[in-house]
Amino acid sequence: MFSLQNKTAIVTGGGSGIGKAISLLFAQQGAAVFIFDADPKGSDEVVQEIKSAGRKADFFSCDVSQQQQVRTVVQAVLKERGSVNILVNNAGVAHVGNAENTKEEDFIRLFNINVKGIYNCLHEALPDMKKTGGVILNMASVASSVGIKDRFAYSMSKGAVLGMTLSTAKDYLQYGIRCNCISPARVHTPFVDGFIRKNYPGQETAMFEELSKSQPIGRMGTPSEIAHLALYLCSDEAGFITGCDYPIDGGFIKINN
């Protein structure tokens, strides 16, 4: 079950965190994985891990907010593989702040990466995917659905991800293209560790505990747990699912709110 044999998958932000877990799992299940990421070191390490297991992977340096860069790397994948079967729009950045203290440049940065980045990838991949069908999976957030304190710009961007998912699912259903999104709550990634070190020096352990307990289930999620849901939604077994948002949140939305 959940085989991705002979599939070509693009994973943006695949060099770390959730994207890394998705890239490794998709390759394990047989997909040729192409990582689009601005971090060459982490991405190269993921590619080498996949290749050492006898699987296919490659890395293209790409700033998803730049449409020409996205166009170039998508065309490179098409030249090598002939088609794209799976597009995982995972690349994104976070920000802490409300409507008053969020700076314009930060608001625009989140829009450019989290929203325009997905648009750029859709814009460049869809013309080919229309020929053969395929699956698109966008990374949204619980912030797409509920209010979270001091996440004004981030919530704006992730609400847009949900809207783009529904619109894309509707527009491309006739071409055999499915489009869904995942909405994680807090997941333990290197980004979380870095955020705690930067904002709470000397209080790392206590803050980690506090953030973990803010999830009703009592802990943060893991990247591999998100990756397994991604695998299901991108597999043929999920062929009857499109236009849906899947919270994976330890009860955050329904139990906390």
DSSP state of 222: -
Give, in degrees to the nearest 5, the angle at Cα 33 between 30 and 37: 155
Question: Exactly one of 154, 172, 175, 232 is catalytic; which is it?
Answer: 154
Whether 154 is a known active-site residue: answer yes
Tell me the chain's radius of gyration from C-alpha atoms.
18
SS3 50: helix
Beta strands in the chain (DSSP E): 8-12, 32-37, 57-61, 86-89, 134-139, 177-184, 245-248
- Check if the beta carbon of residue 151 is closer than 8 Å to that of residue 101: no
Q: HSE, CB side, 13 Å, CA atoms: give it for residue 194.
A: 7
Quote the CA–CA distance of 103 and 226 in Å, as a whole number: 31
Quote the CA–CA distance of 241 and 236 in Å, as a whole number: 10
**What six digits make up the tokens of 60?**
């293209």
SS3 111: helix
Give catalytic residue positions.
154
